[in-house]
């Protein structure tokens, strides 16, 4: 069943926007919302004769096509899986209803069209609920700050991927609300070459944090003995508990391990992917950008032909992570698999056939 032209256009536009990097520097929930809307539109425009299987297939196709556009955005595939889960659940419920109705023997046999319509309506409603839930994920994560940030603690962090108020900042601000501006100290690793750690530290200080320091990334190890907790945020989590984070986070996680400092990784549940790193393409998903942020063109007499590797992201292995804090609660890396089974249907781990 080919998608309607309007949906095809919307999918096309979204794919091109992903390629252009429009969602590289904005908050994840904006992208999650757009993907969900595109998929809901796919369901909504399915023909009235479409069976449950047809709708599932169409959604898988669209979701799968979008998921491979830019692997860094794990959440694209995950949102598709969440929506698929909703469709499958609603389908199962509708089937159960039908069976019950037949068993009860009330003669009101409904036409397939009406059934399909009801199914679609239910799916769309539930999908909207899921979207709202995803939008609220960040605040749910931030709200758990009280469990981790204790009074008098010194927290080391690094800016989250994406612009604006990232997850880490929201988390620390919430902690400030609970513990007060003087309650704990914050050390921000600047996150070279982009150095948005500076802006983050400033933003925290302006909002009342009394003890904020910025350190350069190379000073992370030296500072670590004073630190009680490391807070990182992930743009993606793989099934084995590997986190895809802003480059610079691995450095912190290693230093924390050496000093036995706990590392918590913040992530919305929708970025947790059932994929593993050795699957096609995921090991290369490190957001390799322009060298310009690291070294200006011809700057300091550098040859513009020099190969400058400037990845935006890196993988932090699960053994360095103490706890993931998601909107579903706090879990150790080994528990991610259980979480995945709760969230997605095992049939949808692979979205594209073949």
User: Where do contacts with other proteins occur on this chain (CB under 8 A)?
Assistant: 5, 9, 12-13, 16-17, 19-22, 69-70, 284, 288-293, 296-298, 304-308, 310
Give min distance, CB of 304 to other proteins, in A: 6
Q: Cβ closer to other proteins: 112 or 304?
A: 304
Which residues lie across from 325 on neighbouring strands?
266, 330
Distance separating alpha carbons of residues 183 and 203, to the nearest angstrom: 17
Which run of H or E residues covers position 339?
helix 336-343
Q: Cβ closer to other proteins: 278 or 342?
A: 278
Give min distance, CB of 292 to other proteins, in A: 4
Distance separating alpha carbons of residues 311 and 304, to the nearest angstrom: 18
Give min distance, CB of 13 to other proteins, in A: 6
Q: Cβ closer to other proteins: 185 or 197?
A: 197
Number of Cβ within 10 Å of residue 46's Cβ equals 23
Whether the Cβ atoms of residue 21 and residue 77 lie closer than 8 Å to each other:
no
Q: Cβ closer to other proteins: 103 or 307?
A: 307
Q: Cβ closer to other proteins: 81 or 275?
A: 275
Q: Which long-range contacts (CB under 8 A, 24 or more apart) does 200-207 make?
A: 200/157, 200/159, 200/166, 200/168, 200/169, 203/165, 203/169, 204/169, 204/172, 204/173, 204/176, 207/173, 207/176
**Percentage helix, strand, coil, to 5, in the chain?**
55, 10, 35
Give min distance, CB of 161 to other proteins, in A: 16
User: How far, rounded to the nearest angstrom, does the alpha carbon of residue 72 sit from its chain's CA centroid?
Assistant: 10
Give min distance, CB of 24 to other proteins, in A: 8
Q: How many helices, marked H, and strands, marked E, lie in the chain?
A: 10, 9
Q: Cβ closer to other proteins: 181 or 311?
A: 311
Give min distance, CB of 32 to other proteins, in A: 21
């Amino acid at each position: 069943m080919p998608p309607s032209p309007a949906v095809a256009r919307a999918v096309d536009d979204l794919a091109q926007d992903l390629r252009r990097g429009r969602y590289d520097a904005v908050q994840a929930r904006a992208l999650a919302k757009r993907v969900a809307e595109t998929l809901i539109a796919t369901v909504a425009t399915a023909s009235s004769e479409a069976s449950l299987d047809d709708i599932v297939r169409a959604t898988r196709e669209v979701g799968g096509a979008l998921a491979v556009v830019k692997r860094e955005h794990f959440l694209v595939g995950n949102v598709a899986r969440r929506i698929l889960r909703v469709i499958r659940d609603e389908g199962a419920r509708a089937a159960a209803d039908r069976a019950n109705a037949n068993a009860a023997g009330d003669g009101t046999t409904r036409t397939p069209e009406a059934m399909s319509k009801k199914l679609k309506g239910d799916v769309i409603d539930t999908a909207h609920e899921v979207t709202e839930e995803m939008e609220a994920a960040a605040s749910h994560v931030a709200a758990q700050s009280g469990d981790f940030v204790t009074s008098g603690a010194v927290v080391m962090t690094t800016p989250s991927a994406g612009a604006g108020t990232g997850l880490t900042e929201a988390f620390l601000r919430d902690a400030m609300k609970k513990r007060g501006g003087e309650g704990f100290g914050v050390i921000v690793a600047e996150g070279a070459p982009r150095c948005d750690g500076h802006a983050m530290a400033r933003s925290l200080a302006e909002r009342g944090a009394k003890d904020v320091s910025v350190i350069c990334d190379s000073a992370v190890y030296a500072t670590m003995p004073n630190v009680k907790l490391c807070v990182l945020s992930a743009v993606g989590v793989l099934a084995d508990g590997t986190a895809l984070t802003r480059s610079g986070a691995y450095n912190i996680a290693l230093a924390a391990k050496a000093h036995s400092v706990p590392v918590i990784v913040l992530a919305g549940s929708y970025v947790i992917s059932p994929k593993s790193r050795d699957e096609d393409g995921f090991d290369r998903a490190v957001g390799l950008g322009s060298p310009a942020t690291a070294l200006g063109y011809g700057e300091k007499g550098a040859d513009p032909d020099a190969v400058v590797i400037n990845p935006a992201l890196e993988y932090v292995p699960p053994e360095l992570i103490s706890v993931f804090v998601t909107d579903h609660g706090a879990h150790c890396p080994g528990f991610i698999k259980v979480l995945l089974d709760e969230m997605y249907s095992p049939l949808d781990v692979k979205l594209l056939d073949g």
